[in-house]
């Protein structure tokens, strides 16, 4: 796993032709993507199940690296425990703060570690963007909602059905 600064996250996106979070919030590429909007479950079980669905977007665990970009935290400080995340990162040799290094590049084979970041972000209600090599993007928000953007040419997706089965799908 590699930890990135915000400018390095921007570069990662640029090198792959991905739109960074601030631009996706303004205009999420109408016509080019299929979007699925969902609510973040209230309970930990539902949040972990949601994160597993997001992590495996279109079989992503089988190919390519991912960027997990945390760009909002401590909105609800009573709902987070920063030492948990800080010590987890330290186990990987990363001692910079989340403000200094907000990105995490997860390589194939590091699925458990990458999924752990996504789970913590959902449990703590942090704003987190997950970019996959194939162009899929997932976002979870401190406002307890999220969305998935998949390239329209991705083919048949199971994400919508999985989100619906979990009971969190709001619209597609």
CA-to-CA dists, residue 68 to 78, 96, 111, 139, angstroms: 23, 16, 12, 10
CA-to-CA dists, residue 66 to 1, 41, 45, 81, 127, angstroms: 10, 24, 24, 25, 16
pTM here is: 0.91
Which residues are within 8 A (CB) of 50 and not within 5 positions of it... i.e. 6 or more apart?
A: 38, 40, 41, 122, 146, 163, 166, 168
What does the angle CA 91 – CA 18 – CA 127 come to, to the nearest 5 degrees? Answer: 50
pLDDT at 136: 87
pLDDT at 26: 60
pLDDT at 41: 97
Tokens describing residue 75: 């909105």
CA atoms within 13 A on the CB side of 42: 0
pLDDT at 64: 81
Please tell me the distance from the alpha carbon of residue 111 to that of residue 121, in angstroms, as a whole number. 15
Per-run averaged pLDDT (10 residues), the chain, 172 residues = 97 92 67 87 97 82 83 93 95 95 95 95 97 89 94 73 93 70
Q: Strand runs (DSSP E) across 48-159, as ranges?
A: 66-72, 103-106, 127-132, 137-140, 145-151
| Other C-beta atoms lying within 10 Å of the C-beta of residue 27 | 8
pLDDT at 156: 57
């Amino acid at each position: 796993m590699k930890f990135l600064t915000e400018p390095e996250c921007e570069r990662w996106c640029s090198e792959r032709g991905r739109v960074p979070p601030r631009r996706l919030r303004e205009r999420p590429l109408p016509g080019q993507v299929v979007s699925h909007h969902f609510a973040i479950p209230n309970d930990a079980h539902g949040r972990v199940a949601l994160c597993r669905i997001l992590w495996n977007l279109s079989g992503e665990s089988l190919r390519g690296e991912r960027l997990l970009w945390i760009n909002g935290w401590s909105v609800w400080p009573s709902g987070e425990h920063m030492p948990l995340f800080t010590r987890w990162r330290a186990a990987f040799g990363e001692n910079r703060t989340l403000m200094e290094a907000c990105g995490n590049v997860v390589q194939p084979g590091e699925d458990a570690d990458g999924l752990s970041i996504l789970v913590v972000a959902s449990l703590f209600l942090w704003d987190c963007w997950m970019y996959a090599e194939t162009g899929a993007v997932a976002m979870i928000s401190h406002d307890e909602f999220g969305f998935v953007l998949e390239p329209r040419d991705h083919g048949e997706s199971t994400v919508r059905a999985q989100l619906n089965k979990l009971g969190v799908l709001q619209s597609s």
